């Protein structure tokens, strides 16, 4: 099997190109960090050729996990052709990675993407001269519009099986001399390795066992002395010097026009207007999705499942003599549970449509840019907001997207904090309560509450020694605005809705049967006369006192929280089963608007589903750290719900000052308890996680 490795900067269009070349339907997002693992596919025109979509990187000096994946694959795996996709609208930044790739002894093809946008802006690029300067084929394409892809495939196929000598870049004489000396030391004519050793890349230094090699140390020392700087900075500056010379010769910017993107950004990224505009947009999205069109569609779905399907099926099963317990299982268990969740599919579809539109258009990248300045004031990494944005669809890919954060401390903090942002699984719970008690502002407030808690929790975590340290740099490419392609938009919506439906048909289905059994039988395995006397009722009564201070100390709420730890959709399914298919009536009877809002806050902030916990374990690599994360998240959820309910009661009695005092005291006790626990029992995170793993990010990736 022949292999083409697709590599480029984040958000350069790699995944879009991969989908076009292979016919795959991988998720495409108009922001960096969408691909965090390698994805494999076959070229549509050449079934015997495999194409690998590697995570986007800015450099082959890896600091984050996805960069390690890409570099290791390019160097260690059998790659026939490296297909380097470049954002033609930002040639200078993208060529930094290209120069490093050219030093690998493998065939390289450069795909100059977004050429349609380049032409619209009035930028002219001399392709032939660029190809001559780089010493490899350069093909103009537009991955989004499928332009130039046939020629690109032909060029790649022609290079398969051909050998290529690694490029020797026009470094300065002193740099070139140092590289040649290192080649002699390792007795290997490998340009890429020699440059990485001059760059003092620890992986290669250890691989060639040069930590104590005096000849190697002498070459480095003399080189840095002659150049009056450290070797890493020297290489970065020389690469950019080469890039500057290339771009001056091949790029003509004399007729560049001001783009629509710049005009829009003058408004939506305005210092004072940015956040209010975002809130207004989210208000409109939720108003349409949940209050108006979505609410009507959900009401119809509830009628369909309860009054039509459930009632008619019960009648039919009774007529053919099916046992009453089986009728109850199907109607009161499966249909009531799964139906209560599936009833929200119309709302979720509309909501996912709007969110996908905002993501693919490029607007959500601006929100990450805006939130960066807010996050940094509280000691959080600006990069943390990208996984949180991705997590609005599902927490699992959001947690996986933390691989784009090179600083281990910031990465762990982001894993802990990302589940505080509303995901698709929590939306049915919000939709249920908002439809009964509130308006669309309550939906927007859930996002605001999540962000506020992220900031406060991040600020608290930063006070612990294990999370202290310098902030990492944040490099974010703001893509041009564009209207999403209907195909990409529909695929993104379908994937999210499909995930929601599949979970309802598997996990929710299974737990609906379990919940029905627990509420149908007593502890003696006899039919319960009422749900309150059942096993489920007994469990609920046992744990209900824990939530009494939060305003929902009833057994139904208690068991819904318990089942919600498996999947948040189970909360709605549980309400549907214990109410006999009428979740709305149950919620109206056992909650008030205040306790309902506290309940939503608890569901928002408490530990995510089992799948997300599994992803947390995979990314953290430790059960100790995972348990700490789950306990921290649930503790924060309990505290916030407590403050909302008790504070709301105090405010209702015109005692605002005592409310503030109580809130401060509880928060202080919470922080003291955590710090005391860490001091007495040892931190839940291993000490080695504080080690600084990357010292050259700002120099290496940012000019």
The pLDDT tens digits of the residues spanning 289-322 come to 877 787 777 778 877 887 788 888 888 888 888 8
- Packing angle, helices 363-377 and 260-268, rounded to 10: 40
Confidence of residue 63 (pLDDT cuts 50, 70, 90): low
> Does the structure show a pLDDT above 70 at 508?
yes
Alpha carbons 404 and 472: distance in angstroms, whole number: 12
Residue 469's pLDDT is 61
Which of the residue ranges 266-280, 371-385, 484-498, 595-609 would you say has the lowest mean pLDDT?
371-385
Question: Which residues on neighbouring strands pair with residue 109, listed in sequence order?
Answer: 83
Quickly list DSSP for 312-332: HHHHHHHHTT--HHHHHIIII
Separation CA 16–CA 442 (nearest Å):
36
Question: How many beta carbons lie within 10 A of that of residue 17, not counting itself?
Answer: 25
Alpha carbon separation from 660 to 402, 598, 646, 673 (Å, rounded): 35, 17, 11, 20
pLDDT for position 405: 75
Mean pLDDT, range 457-485, rounded to an integer: 72
Task: Give the pLDDT score at 602.
Answer: 96
* Per-residue pLDDT, 388: 83
Give residue-wise pLDDT tens across range 183-216: 999 998 888 899 999 999 888 888 899 988 999 9
322: which residues sit within 8 A by CB, 6+ positions away? none
Predicted local distance difference test score (pLDDT) of residue 615? 86
pLDDT exceeds 70 at position 680: no
* pLDDT at 433 (0 to 100): 92
* C-alpha dihedral sign at 611, 613, 619, 622: negative
Rounded CA gap, 190 and 188, in Å?
A: 6
What is the rounded CA–CA span in Å between residue 198 and residue 88? Answer: 30
Residue 547 has pLDDT above 60, yes or no: yes
With bands split at pLDDT 50, 70 and 90, how would you rate the model's confidence at 348?
confident
Q: Which residue has the higher pLDDT, 384 or 235?
A: 235
Tell me the average pLDDT across 379-401.
Answer: 78
152 has a pLDDT exceeding 60 = yes
Is the pLDDT assigned to residue 681 strictly greater than 60?
Answer: no
Q: Residues 417-426: what's their mean pLDDT?
A: 89
Q: For 503-520, what is the mean pLDDT?
A: 86
Which residue would you say has higher pLDDT here, 380 or 423? 423
| Residue 687 in this model has a pLDDT that exceeds 70 | no
Q: What percent of the chain has pLDDT over 70?
A: 88
Confidence tier at 34 by pLDDT (50, 70, 90): very low
Q: Region 160-173: what's the mean pLDDT?
A: 87
Lowest-confidence pick of 79-83, 233-237, 325-329, 641-645: 325-329
pLDDT bucket at 482, cuts 50 / 70 / 90: confident
Average pLDDT over residues 11-23: 84
Looking at residues 379-392, what average pLDDT do you find? 76
Tell me the pLDDT of the chain averaged across its residues.
82
Q: Which of 44, 230, 18, 25 is nearest to 141 (CA)?
A: 18
How high is the pLDDT of residue 668?
57
DSSP collapsed to 3 states, 108-150? EEEEEECHHHHHHHCCEECHHHHHHHHCCCEEECECCCCECHH
Give the pLDDT confidence score for residue 447 in this predicted structure. Answer: 84
Q: What is the arithmetic mean of pLDDT over 661-689? A: 45
pLDDT of residue 694: 34
Is-contact 317 330, C-beta < 8 A? yes
Can you give the pLDDT at residue 109? 94
What is the arithmetic mean of pLDDT over 674-701?
37
Residue 627's pLDDT is 92
pLDDT of residue 699 exceeding 60: no
185 in Cβ contact with 219 (< 8 Å): yes
How many whole angstroms separate alpha carbon 287 and alpha carbon 285? Answer: 6
Going by pLDDT thresholds of 50, 70 and 90, the confidence category of residue 477 is low
Residue pointed to by tokens 């010379």: 245
683: tokens are 């931190």
In which band, very low, low, confident or very high, does the pLDDT at 132 lie, cut at 50, 70 and 90?
A: very high
Read off the pLDDT of each residue in 531-553 and give the average, rounded to a whole number: 91
- If you average pLDDT over residues 429-449, what whole number do you get? 85
Cβ(587)–Cβ(433) below 8 Å: yes
Helix (H, G, I), strand (E, B) or coil at 172: coil
Contact 547, 640 (CB under 8 A): no
Ranges of each domain in the chain: 2-159, 173-252, 277-684
Q: Which residue has the tokens 């068991």?
A: 559
- Of 106-115, 166-175, 198-207, 397-406, minimum mean pLDDT range: 397-406
Band of residue 100 on the pLDDT scale cut at 50, 70, 90: very high
At the topology level, CATH places domain 2-159 in: Rossmann fold (3.40.50)
Structure confidence at residue 65 as a pLDDT band (50, 70, 90): low
pLDDT band at 35 (very low <50, low <70, confident <90, very high): very low
pLDDT at 700 over 60: no
pLDDT at 43: 87
* pLDDT class of 591 with cuts at 50, 70, 90: very high
The pLDDT of 309-337, averaged and rounded, is: 86
Query: Mean pLDDT across the stretch 523-548?
Result: 88
Nearest to 445 by CA among 453, 331, 155: 453
Q: For residue 693, what pLDDT is reported?
A: 29
- Distance set, CA 435 to CA 223, 335, 430, 586, 587 (Å): 69, 21, 8, 13, 11
Closest to 606 in 3D by CA, of 628, 631, 624: 631
As a whole number, mean pLDDT of residues 631-643 equals 94
CB-based contacts of 665: which residues, under 8 Å, 6+ apart? none
Class of domain 173-252: mainly alpha
**In the prediction, which pLDDT does 542 show?**
93
pLDDT at position 679: 44
């Amino acid at each position: 099997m022949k292999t083409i490795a697709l590599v480029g900067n984040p958000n350069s269009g790699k995944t879009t190109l991969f989908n076009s070349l292979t016919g795959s339907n991988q998720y495409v997002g108009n922001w960096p960090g969408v691909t965090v693992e390698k994805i494999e596919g076959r070229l549509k025109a050449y079934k015997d050729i495999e194409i690998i979509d590697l995570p986007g990187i800015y450099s082959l000096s890896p600091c984050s996990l996805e960069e390690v994946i890409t570099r290791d694959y390019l160097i260690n795996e059998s790659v026939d052709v490296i297909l380097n996709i470049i954002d033609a609208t930002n040639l200078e930044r993208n060529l930094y990675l290209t120069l490093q790739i050219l030093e690998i002894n493998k065939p390289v093809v450069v795909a100059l993407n977004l050429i349609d946008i380049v032409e619209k802006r009035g930028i002219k690029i001399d392709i032939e001269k660029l190809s001559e300067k780089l010493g490899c084929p350069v093909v103009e394409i537009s991955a989004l519009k499928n332009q130039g892809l046939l020629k690109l495939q032909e060029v790649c196929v022609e290079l398969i099986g051909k050998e290529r000598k690694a490029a020797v870049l026009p470094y300065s004489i002193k740099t070139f001399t140092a590289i040649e000396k290192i080649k002699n030391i390792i007795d290997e004519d490998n340009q890429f390795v020699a440059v990485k050793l001059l760059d003092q890349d620890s992986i290669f230094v250890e691989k060639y066992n040069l930590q104590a090699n005096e000849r190697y140390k002498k070459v480095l020392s003399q080189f840095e002395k002659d150049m009056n700087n450290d070797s890493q900075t020297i290489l970065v500056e020389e690469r950019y010097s080469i890039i500057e010379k290339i771009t001056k010769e091949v790029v003509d910017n004399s007729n560049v026009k001001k783009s629509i993107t710049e005009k829009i950004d003058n408004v939506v990224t305005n210092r004072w207007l940015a956040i209010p505009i975002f809130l207004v947009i989210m208000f409109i999205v939720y108003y349409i999705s949940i209050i108006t069109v979505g609410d009507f569609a959900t009401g119809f779905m509830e009628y369909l499942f309860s009054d039509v399907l459930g009632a008619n099926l019960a009648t039919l099963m009774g007529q053919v003599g099916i046992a009453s317990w089986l009728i109850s299982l199907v109607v009161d268990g499966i249909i009531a549970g799964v139906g209560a969740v599936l009833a929200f599919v119309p709302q979720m579809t509309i909501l996912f449509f709007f969110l996908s539109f905002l993501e693919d258009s490029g607007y959500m990248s601006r929100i990450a840019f805006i939130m960066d300045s807010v996050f940094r004031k509280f000691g959080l990494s600006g990069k943390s907001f990208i996984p949180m944005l991705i997590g609005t669809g599902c927490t699992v890919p959001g947690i996986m997207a933390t691989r784009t954060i090179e600083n281990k401390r910031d990465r762990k903090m982001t894993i802990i904090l990302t589940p505080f942002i509303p995901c698709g699984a929590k939306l049915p719970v919000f939709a249920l309560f908002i439809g009964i008690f509130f308006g669309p502002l309550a939906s927007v407030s859930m996002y605001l509450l999540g962000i506020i808690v992220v900031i406060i929790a991040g600020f608290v975590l930063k006070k612990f020694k294990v999370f202290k340290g310098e902030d990492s740099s944040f490099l974010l490419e703001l893509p041009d605005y564009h209207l999403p392609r209907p195909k990409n938009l529909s695929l993104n919506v379908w994937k999210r809705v499909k995930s929601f439906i599949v979970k309802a048909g598997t996990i929710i289905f299974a737990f609906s049967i379990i919940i029905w059994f627990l509420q149908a039988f007593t502890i003696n395995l006899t039919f319960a006369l009422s749900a309150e006397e059942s096993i489920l009722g007994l469990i609920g009564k046992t744990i209900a006192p824990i939530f009494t201070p939060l305003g929902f100390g009833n057994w139904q709420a208690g068991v819904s929280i318990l089942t919600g730890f498996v999947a948040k959709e189970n909360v709605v399914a549980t309400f549907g089963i214990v109410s006999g298919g009428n979740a709305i009536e149950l919620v109206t009877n056992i909650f008030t608007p205040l306790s309902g809002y506290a309940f939503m806050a608890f569901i928002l902030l408490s530990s995510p589903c089992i799948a997300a916990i599994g992803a947390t374990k995979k990314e953290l690599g430790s059960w100790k750290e995972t348990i700490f994360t789950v306990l921290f998240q649930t503790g924060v959820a309990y505290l916030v719900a407590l403050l909302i309910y008790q504070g709301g009661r105090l405010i209702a009695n015109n005692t605002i000052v005592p409310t503030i005092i109580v809130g401060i005291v509880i928060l202080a006790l919470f922080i003291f308890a955590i710090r005391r626990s860490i001091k007495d029992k040892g931190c839940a995170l291993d000490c080695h996680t504080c080690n600084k793993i990357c010292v050259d990010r700002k120099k290496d990736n940012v000019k």
